[in-house]
Structure 1
Amino acid sequence: MIEIERKFLVTSDKYKTEAFKSSEIKQGYLNSHPERTTRIRIQDKKAFITIKGKSSESGLSRFEWEKEIPVEEALELLKLCEPGAIEKVRYLVKSKEFTFEIDEFFGSNQGLVIAEIELLSEEDIFEKPNWLGEEVTGNNNYYNSQLCINPYKNWKK
């Protein structure tokens, strides 16, 4: 399956009042190589293993495969992950036929808030909420796998 998404920084917390759902996420990476990542994620009471391929030239699309696994197995696999973990709360905000996923990061990435929108094609047009800031699609620094290696707290601001 090909995932097509765009990423943006978020400029205010107004999205929280527009959210129809939120969930806690903890995840780690068995492999964080930019050409292929293997992620273990626990989201609320479910767990997943996800493999993602290298991004396209535009940074908008890449291969993604995901399978639900038992939470107990995910907890064991998290112990094998590379150093660094992602802790965040994900908020879902509807925008016409699309849904924004807004991730508020904690731990080593405290202060970072990123919105993602999954599209059906790279040409899709969508309404941009007023809390949406600079686009960072294709910027590897904002990939969760890279935030484990070089957390936001270490960035020069």
Structure 2
Amino acid sequence: MQEIERKFLVNNTKFKEEAISSSQIAQGFLNTHAERTVRVRIKGNQGFLTVKGRSNESGTSRFEWENEISVAEAKQLLALCEKGIIEKIRYNIPSGNHIFEVDEFFGENEGLIVAEVELQEENEAIQKPDWLGKEVTGQLKYYNSQLSKKPYKTWHHE
């Protein structure tokens, strides 16, 4: 139940041409404590409840537990979530031996596109697609739990 992943910004929308699937996601947070987050997600026609622990020093690894719940249960739990529901489309793009999950955000986070790749080991090599930009692994402001509190549209953009 250990999640190991790296996060990157995305330079352009060429990733959409390489996507093998996509799904609409709505998610909220029942808890966004520094030691743990409790997330409710509706992805397509599935609901999920997820608990994530604090990231390690490099920001690549943390505890993750996820369980599928009904969409009806997820909708009821979303109504109880802290302010700031995340809306996004997730695209799955193969690259080498990995699948990049690229999230294109909407609503208060519109304009932000972040790619994640899950790994088996922290130092695992990845094949970087040409649309992949700056690495932001471990930068808290790019965590969905933080985007729900301080959306991308409120940032003073570099």
Output the TM-score relative to the length of structure 2: 0.99
Cα distance in 1 for partners of 2:107, 2:34 equals 23
Percent of residue pairs identical? 59
**Superposition pairs of residues 67-146 of structure 1, within 5 angstroms:** 67-146=67-146
Query: Per the alignment, in what secondary structure is the counterpart of residue 127 of structure 1?
Result: coil
Matched to 2:156, the amino acid is: K
Q: CA deviation at 1:23?
A: 0.3
Residues matched between the structures, number: 157
Equivalent-residue separation in structure 1 for 2:24 and 2:48 (angstroms): 14
What is the Cα deviation at residue 96 of structure 1? 1.7
Secondary structure of 2:74's counterpart equals helix
Distance 2:138 2:41 in 1: 22
TM-score after normalising by structure 1: 0.99
Counterpart Cα distance in 1 of 2:97 and 2:68: 26
* Mapped partners of 1:34, 1:4: distance in 2: 18
Distance in 2 separating the partners of 1:73 and 1:24: 18
2:10 alignment counterpart? 10
| Cα distance per residue 1:6-29 (max 9 Å; x no partner) | 000000000000000000000000
Unmatched tracts of structure 1, length 5 or more:
none
The 5-angstrom pairing of residues 12-51 of structure 1 reads 12-51=12-51
